[in-house]
Structure 1
Amino acid sequence: MTSVADPSMTHHRAANAAAKPVATTRDIRLDFFRGLAMFIILAAHTPRNFFTSWIPARWGFSDATEIFVFCSGMASAIAFGRTFDRAGWTLGASRVGYRVWQVYWAHICMFFVIATMLAAIDMIGGFDKSYINGLNLQKFFADPGPQLLGLFTLTYVPNYFDILPMYMVILVMMPVIMALSRVGLWAVAAAMGLTWLMAQEVILESVGLGHLHLAFPAEPWSGREWFFNPFGWQLIFFTGFAFMRGWLPKPPVNKLLLGVAAALVIANIPLSNIGVREFGFDWARDWRIANNSLFNKSDFGILRYVHFLALAYLCWAAAGEGGNRLRVVGNGIISYVWGVLLKMILKVGQQSLAVFVFSMVFARFSGFVMDQIGRNTWNITLANFVGFGALIVVAYTVAWFKSHPWRVAK
């Protein structure tokens, strides 16, 4: 008979607790904020778009990429975590591998669609610039053989095409994290922290360990690395994953935490792009230059993490438990319009991969069109709203195909 104090039994219970799922359904807040991120990402990738003056990246260190990656971690905890719990580690890892396979081909197809579109525009000719060169793809077209090999092996990753490769690598880490969770949550935290630390090039160089910097090469002819270093960005992904798995407790909503989070967000404004450019804070410009490693986007500097968590907490609290404050209340015209908008935003968030790929293509096409017709307030506003509408159409179309309507058609 096993004693209550048996350490092996205590360890077994701890491992089971770490593996036990908490969330089994999607939270409305997850799809809502991921949907918003998709609209922001479209605006951010549209060249010379004044809408970008109002996206999170202009007012603080973090931006829509953090929203997308964090929410993807939460969604993965629901979608893949249950498979690990129900079917075991091997089948869970296999399902993750299948998702990586899907994302890989989405990345390849997105590259060829955009590259072909830009090549067609340049072939038409008569424009005042090369659109191929605009995305630094001239070497691909000048010598496609080696670059094709690099494209398919992810050793050639142009900057515009770097989010999905980062996402794939993080997904590959998930089976490792799930295995470590059975050892203990301390092992998960240690792995996340150490991996993030090994991605911080400036920190490593400061202690003479720069050669240990974890990163992937982005092109064979230079020392450039992937713009989004997955070893740094996994920290925000697995933070979202841990919250949804119940490894991290839900933070309480109280005045103290709300005050601290609000103070952190407000304190970011003078140090942001808006603070430097619009408010003329020269001291902030000097500070940013001297402390770039603290908010470096490529390696995911720690201040990006702090700013995002503060902003996410405020949004999470504002949305209410289960997103109750997002739901429609009342029968007036405002409630009706908000109800329609909410459904569309949620649908975009639910189909984020397809929407993201489409948005990257549409952003380049939209930029080309505005180059030809000119940029003014009305043209740019129209282009943004046409793009937003297109994302919604894509989301509903993909959802329709995923429902397999032909299976029930009579």
Structure 2
Amino acid sequence: MSTASDVPAAPRARDPRLDFFRGMGMCIILIAHIPWNPWTNWIPARFGFSDAADMFVFCSGMASAIAFGRVFAQHGWLIGTFRILHRLWQVYWVHICAFVTVLTLAIALDQMLDVDHYVREELKLQPVLDDPRTYLVNLLTLRFVPNYFDILPMYLVVLAMTPVAMALARVSPALAGAVSVALWLGAQAGVLELTADATTGRPWFFNPFAWQLLFFTGFAFARGWLPAPPRDRRLALAAGGLVAIGIPLGCQNEFQCYAGFGAAPALGEAHEALGALIAKTNLGPLRYLHFLATAYLAFLAVGEGGRRLAGRVPDVLRMIGKQTLAVFLTGLVIAQGLGALLDVVGRSPLSALLVNLAGQAILLIAALIVTAVKSPPWRKPPVPDRRASSPAGARPPRGSPTTQAAAPG
């Protein structure tokens, strides 16, 4: 049994909204990853229950539905599964290379600045250097997932669930949704989780059995398993109310947020009281609803088809969003270097401004380079050689533009 969404469709133009919000997410994630970055106090995570990680996973689900769902529909389940395996292979080695690169950079920073800080304190990777045989084996088998490198492993596990979701959806999209909800409930109950450090028993910071719900929510919207939400004033008011409630409760306490709200003890206590409802590790239900409310307001704000996304800044964000994996990897690496730069020059408003803007510029440069690499000159149609089409030995008449251009002086 197949569904209407499984019928092969003609290629469609890229949705500017998807690239725009993926690019925005990449920029925010870079800011959040720079150690002790003053700008971190003003990212959306400080004023709500969800953050850029939620945006990244939701948009990844939509992008996967567009990129891989079409393969399943046009070439069948087996070929679609092989396509997913190919992507898993790519992302796995990106994860490994990112870890080795960032660890090497941290070691180099410690040596250059003559400190014992970046490996041990910032990244907390000293155990890897103390016992490399154990930790490197665990790294390659995903039994060691450091906190700074935890998004891509979660994405690997969730993406590996896609063939199962597509098989279930051939019976009924509702069945695929029910299984997704069941996995999420298992994570909430503490039944389903993975170990991020086999030596200590620490669980994954992003529980993939919980976060797959957000991924497949985006996937379902893009595949047409869920209809686009209506543009309804009452729904907008409800979403706005939930987002407004999250603003004063987004910061946990004065040590984790300096934007103002976190300094109020009563608000910090209220935040802590919400507990599992807004938990990040298991994607608490209130966190999930807060993201959907935020996404709905953004959906309304950009207009139908993203018609309001015009101008220089949206264009730049869309360019960044088109190359999410490469840009995310770039941000993961340069964030530590930018943090070290702030350690050296200080964290004044001016230095923070310049360092953060430099980081965003590097993300754009990375996106431009990857775009160029993906469309090399040899893939473009050849320029016709007019001389080859002219009769042999034929010369243009004297005084013609060609002879004039070739004449000396």
Common topology (TM > 0.5): yes
Matches for 1:97-116 after TM superposition, within 5 Å: 97-116=85-104
Aligned-pair CA distance for 1:93 = 0.7
Partners of 1:244 and 1:407 lie apart in 2 by 30
Aligned to 2:154: 166
Q: When the two structures are aligned, how many residues end up with a matched partner?
A: 376
Aligned to 1:41: 29
Which of 354, 373, 382 is residue 354 of structure 2 equivalent to?
382
Q: Normalising by the residue count of structure 1, what TM-score does the alignment of the two structures yield?
A: 0.88
Aligned to 1:369: 341
The answer to whether residue 211 in structure 2 is matched with residue 233 in structure 1 is yes
Deviations 1:269-318 (A, max 9, x none): 12211897624543332233233111111111111110110010011111
| C-alpha contact (below 8 Å) 1:269/1:275 kept by paired residues | no
Aligned to 1:335: none
Aligned to 2:138: 150
Specify whether residues 118 and 275 from structure 1 end up closer, same or farther in structure 2 by C-alpha distance, changes over 3 A only.
closer
Give 1 or 2 for the bigger CA radius of gyration: 2
Aligned to 2:295: 312
Aligned to 1:55: 43
| C-alpha contact (below 8 Å) 2:38/2:347 kept by paired residues | no
Partners of 2:252 and 2:354 lie apart in 1 by 24
Aligned-pair CA distance for 1:38 = 0.5
Partners of 1:130 and 1:243 lie apart in 2 by 41
Matches for 1:102-141 after TM superposition, within 5 Å: 102-127=90-115, 129-141=117-129
What residue ranges of structure 2 are gaps of 5+ in the alignment?
Answer: 384-409
| C-alpha contact (below 8 Å) 1:118/1:132 kept by paired residues | no
Matched to 2:358, the amino acid is V
Matched to 1:306, the amino acid is L
| C-alpha contact (below 8 Å) 1:44/1:52 kept by paired residues | yes
Which of 143, 152, 177 is residue 189 of structure 1 equivalent to?
177
Aligned-pair CA distance for 1:128 = 6.7
Matched to 1:391, the amino acid is L
Structure 1 vs Structure 2: percent identity of aligned residues? 48
What residue ranges of structure 1 are gaps of 5+ in the alignment?
Answer: 1-11, 205-209, 328-337
Aligned to 2:275: 292
Partners of 1:124 and 1:344 lie apart in 2 by 34
| C-alpha contact (below 8 Å) 1:21/1:81 kept by paired residues | no
Specify whether residues 125 and 254 from structure 1 end up closer, same or farther in structure 2 by C-alpha distance, changes over 3 A only.
closer
Aligned to 1:333: none
Partners of 1:244 and 1:18 lie apart in 2 by 10
The answer to whether residue 58 in structure 2 is matched with residue 70 in structure 1 is yes
The answer to whether residue 221 in structure 2 is matched with residue 243 in structure 1 is yes
Aligned to 1:404: 376
Which of 330, 336, 342 is residue 358 of structure 1 equivalent to?
330
Partners of 1:223 and 1:275 lie apart in 2 by 27
Aligned-pair CA distance for 1:156 = 0.7
Aligned-pair CA distance for 1:263 = 0.8
Deviations 1:300-344 (A, max 9, x none): 1111110110010011111011101113xxxxxxxxxx2x33222
Matched to 1:267, the amino acid is I
| C-alpha contact (below 8 Å) 1:73/1:241 kept by paired residues | yes
Partners of 2:253 and 2:272 lie apart in 1 by 14
Aligned to 1:5: none
